[in-house]
Structures are given as structure tokens and as C-alpha cells.
Structure 1
């Protein structure tokens, strides 16, 4: 594995930054992680997976921040910390509320800068990426141009955001319909995406051993966001990677089934290189990435 990296810098995290959200029913809490020094920081807004929260995904968040990014992590309503269950009237619309959470974070950059000590004036509002893992990947993909198909197969509302210049989708689910198990089809009607309009440059990361109980397909299901969307796109397939891709949700988290520091390092370094080249003019990190036996990369 040969992947160029810059010298990491110390980082600081502040949480919670609370954004009022009356229509949501629960104020939006955000964790902000950024390097201690530097200005003109590109921004990554990160959507967590089902049940997670703003305090997870430290292996990625801390790495990105140490290499020059400000990372903003909202806690979505499905987080176990909020205990919003199926009996809550908001539950059927959580997938839409998740997207609205990311948009609210983007709308609140001035507020976030003002309340986080030492951050004022340091964010570059014109260089923004979104990223997400699992359900968070679907959430992020909506801002990149993906849509949810209606019952008749018609693409639904366009939720793309022109402020977003790039994306990173980690272990993100593929198409719905016949590809879903009966349970998934009955309980998760929003799991019917189309990537045909997902035009924003994006890196898709999938594990070649990621087998979901939500789909009748195999690990190739998680490559759909790459193969079924227009370019420019890139794909990293992680050798031996399952849904946690070696452990990106956090250090020693119980949901990691394929614990591998080596896989985590691969995902850390490849995603950092992609984000740097996508958001920092003149950065050549991505063109120099060679994953070796740990995975394979293709682009189009």
C-alpha cells in the first residue's frame, strides 16, 4: 500500500453545538472536529449509520481533521441516544429528516463558526463535501443527486445541494425492488434509490465481504452507487472488508465484525487522499494512491 499523506496536525473537538430545529421536534446536536491551526479549511459533513451518533467514527473524523478538514457530525433522530422508535410519528420520515439535518448544518455554518472557540473565519464555505456510512451513505447521496423512487418507479424529489462539491459513500446500500429481502421491502420503502442523477464527483467504498440481511444480492450490492451513476466517480473495494470496513465506526465498537487496523488505515488514507484532491486545488494525492493487496481502485 502506497498512499501519500501530509504531516498530521493536532485537532480539537467541540460538542454539542446545538442548532434549534422546532419543526424537527428535537434540536439538532452537532460535533465539530477541526485542526487547531490553519485557515480556509474545507468542510466535510458526515452522516452516521443507523443508531450511531455524533461521537462515533473517530478513526475517520480525526484523520480527516488532522489533514486539514473541518468535520461536522450531526446526530440524526434514529440515534440510540435519542430513543425515537417506530411509535413516534416522525419515524416514517426519518430518512427525509436525515437529509434535512445535513442541509441545516450547511445553512448554519456561520452560527457554527461563531459558537466554536477559535473557529471563526477559518472555514471555506465554497469547498464542501458530504460523507456517510451505511444509512448515512444514503443520506449523503441525496445531496449528491441520488433520489428515492416512488411506488410507480418515478424518481422522487431532487434533494441535491449545489454547495456540495464532492462525496464519500461508505458501505452504502444499492438498488431496491427485487434486490431487497421481503423484510426490507416491507419496512424500508425509502430503500429504493436511483443513482442516475447523482452527478457530483464521489468516492464509493465497499467491502468485498459485505453481505447484508437487507438484500438478496451479495457484496456487489454496495457498488451500485458507483456503477449506476454518471461520472466522475471512483470506487475502492476493500479486500476482506465487511460492513464496518475493518472498524471505521469507532475504536473497539461492538458492531465491528471484521476488526482490522490495516483495513481501517487503508480507508483512512484513501478517503483522505480523495477529499484532498477533490477540495484542494492542485493537490495530487489521489493520483498517487496505490492500495496494493489491501484493495482495488477504479475510476471513470
Structure 2
């Protein structure tokens, strides 16, 4: 909103010769409305634990058709007065690498003010990386920002977890929809690797690998005792990991029949794991496809 008072001074004719003039004051009130704005912001998990989908409900408040686009994303066409959902797949952000807010540098602000400044700084940095733009053909264009719209829950989902978990099947990293292939009867080597990006020591941890089959109808079959067999124990142990350190545990299992299998990795509840937020224990999904052994 812009408010101002314009003062005019004018004169003319004989009065101007005599030095007479008149004053006129005019009030000015201008309300500037955004061409596009976001009515709702939320997130959904992606197939990779290092990515997520940022969902933006975009509203076109103009009387013209316009397009909205983000970096590495297709254009969304919005008619006048129309609202549509825009999904942007983004790499999760390492907030520790973001520039410090003014309050953090001076260390004079209250905790509440520091948190508000921190959220504002993160929103500004995320907006610059998303690079959301709108345009009206042959008329106008501009930028759209999510600054000030990202609540703490959304920021938590956008943050790269301080504990980075990797699962490898026969040396192949599992962090996507693709299934790792193996042959029936051959040992499948599993490795669970932990990288600690937090400023504190974590662990030790105990975790159990539980195979199951997804029947694609909401039913998961965990009764696979006659179909799978572990070489050794199905429980893995990870030692304590120092900041910037890494630890790994190894194991193996056999698939006795062909099919598509998934591995659910469950943490043992103890005092160590309960001290940490659940978002720190985000492991990738593991999909293994057992094929007939080649003759």
C-alpha cells in the first residue's frame, strides 16, 4: 500500500503578475496487489531421501492468462482468476551452509527474534534457488517468492537430515525407484552406511532388516521365512559416530524364489535413538528383484 499527499502550487494571468498563487493538496492511496500468490504451501516425500516435492497452490489474480515456471520445471498455465497446484521436485537443503542472519552475527536478539530471522533467511535463500517466475505474453513478467510462507513443518521437510543414511545392495546405492537385481540362491550383500553431519556424536545403533512383499493392494506379506534366509543375523550394529565421521555395517541374505521384495529397516528403540528427532532416521527404500539363476 502506498499513501501520499501531492501538493500543487499554481498561478496564472494577472494574478501571476501580482505574485498571487493557489495551493492544492490531493491525497493519493494506491494498493498494489500481487499478480500471483500462493494460497497454500506443503510438501510430499520423493523417491529419493535427499529430495522432496514442494507443493504450491498458485492463484492468478490478474485478468489475463499467465504462465508460472520454476527452475528445471515445466510451465504452468493459469487462466484469469484460476488456482492450480504446482509441484516442484527439489534437492533438500543443508541449512548449515546458509548465510547467517543479522541477529546470529550480533548475538543481541532474543531467541524468538533469532528464530524469526532464521526462518526469514532460509525462506529468502530457498526462493532464490527455486527461481519462480511468472509472465503474461507480450505484456508483463515478474518473480514470485515463497519468503514468509514456509512454516517450521515445511522447513523441516525441506532440510537435509543431519544423519545421512545409505543402503547398498551388492555395492549398488539404493535411493531411487529402480530395483536392485540378484539371482535366486546367490548371497545378496547388504551395507548400511551412516555419515554424521550433525555437531554431536551419535549412536551406537541397532537395526533389524525385515524383508516383505508388497501385493499392491494395501497388503504387505512379512511371512517370508521359507522364501528368504539371512546369512548370519538380521540385526545390524553401528558403533558411535563422531561429527563428520562415518560408520558402516555389513550383512547378507538369500532369496530362494523369484519375485520382487522390499527391505524394511527398523531401528531398535533405546535411549540413544529416542534422544534424536524421528526425521534423523530417514532411510531409503530398498527394492530387490530376485531372478532365475542363469544356467
Normalised to the residue count of structure 1, the TM-score between the two structures is 0.23
Instruction: From the two aligned structures, give the one with the greater helix fraction.
Output: 1
Normalised to the residue count of structure 2, the TM-score between the two structures is 0.23
Instruction: From the two aligned structures, give the one with the greater strand fraction.
Output: 2
